[in-house]
Amino acid sequence: MAFALDSVVPWGRSYEEYIDMFALSTADLEGRILGCGDGPASFNTQLTRRGGSVVSVDPLYACSTDQIRARIDETFTKVIDQVSLNRGDFVWNRITDIEELGRIRMNAMQDFLEDFATGLKEQRYLPQALPELELPDQSFDLGLSSHFLFLYSRQLDLEFHLRAIKELCRITKEVRIFPLLQLDATPSPYIAPVSRHLINAGYDVHEIEVEYEFQRGGNRMLKIRRRD
Ligand SMILES: C[S@@+](CC[C@H](N)C(=O)[O-])C[C@H]1O[C@@H](n2cnc3c(N)ncnc32)[C@H](O)[C@@H]1O
């Protein structure tokens, strides 16, 4: 049976994975960054420690640290079981086996959990949800969506994707979305209609190959920027 999850789960990747998934340059990291659906990833924690400017939005941030820890523990077994059952859907070079996968992800999520209370006070973690965010127009240089849009195409319909991506375009100067695959490693059916819609609305839309590939075939991001 293909990799499947009933709902969008809290599961966090590391800072280094974000750098590679989105091909983030030094100049990108010097801008003001919005991470959408960052959940328990350690990108915000680590970029803040390095002096960067980043805000993450996720409905998960309405929960307490203990509630998030409990949800991570629940998710951990589900995700690791699903990956074990579908090993062939993943590329085992950067991460060499299931044990290492568990270790990398738990380290990243532990990093996030230790930073969460401070980040909430500093308004680096905002409990908000797409498709509508309470953030001013063009207030960020770069918007990132990792493992939320397109990945959950079976749970979130085309209308949701269009509204969410237009909202990110309203708030940020450039949007990057990774991966372009669904949970079962098949391409999202929404890439073509979303791209067509955005091109007609005056945006440049490019699929860009990146260094990162864990889901087999998942080594492309979508880059969206208003045409000059
Ligand atoms: C699989 S996790 C990915 C976390 C992180 N971006 C990463 O790649 O490690 C998906 C995240 O999307 C969040 N999410 C669910 N619905 C959302 C919404 N409507 N708007 C923004 N984020 C949402 C979930 O709470 C969860 O933290």
Query: For residue 104, is it within any domain?
Result: yes
Q: Which of 171, 197, 2 is nearest to 87 (CA)?
A: 2
Q: Between vectors from CA 221 to CA 215 and to CA 223, what angle results, nearest 5°?
A: 170
Other beta carbons within 10 Å of 37: 23
Would you say the CB of residue 158 lies under 6 angstroms from ligand 1? no
Nearest CA to ligand 1 atom 14: 37
Query: For residue 70, is it within any domain?
Result: yes
Global pTM? Answer: 0.96
Q: Any idea what the CATH number is for the domain that residue 151 is in? A: 3.40.50.150
Give residue 36 CA to ligand 1 midpoint distance, Å. 7
Query: For residue 211, is it within any domain?
Result: yes
Would you say the CB of residue 12 lies under 6 angstroms from ligand 1? yes
| Domain ranges, residue 200 | 23-226
Query: For residue 156, is it within any domain?
Result: yes
Please state the domain count of the chain: 1
Mean pLDDT per block of 10 residues along the chain (228 residues) reads 68 96 98 98 98 97 96 92 92 94 95 98 98 98 98 96 98 98 95 98 98 96 95
Query: For residue 7, is it within any domain?
Result: no
Query: For residue 6, is it within any domain?
Result: no
Query: For residue 109, is it within any domain?
Result: yes
Q: Which of 58, 85, 72 is nearest to 184 (CA)?
A: 85
Would you say the CB of residue 112 lies under 6 angstroms from ligand 1? no
Q: DSSP letters of 188-222? A: PTTHHHHHHHHHHTTEEEEEEE-S--SBTT--EEE
Q: DSSP letters of 107-167? A: HHHHHHHHHHHHHHHTTSEE---TT-----TT-EEEEEEESSTTTTTTTS-HHHHHHHHHH
Nearest CA to ligand 1 atom 5: 38
Query: For residue 14, is it within any domain?
Result: no
Measured CA to CA, the distance from residue 31 to residue 85 in angstroms comes to: 40
* Amino acid 6: pLDDT: 63
Would you say the CB of residue 11 lies under 6 angstroms from ligand 1? yes
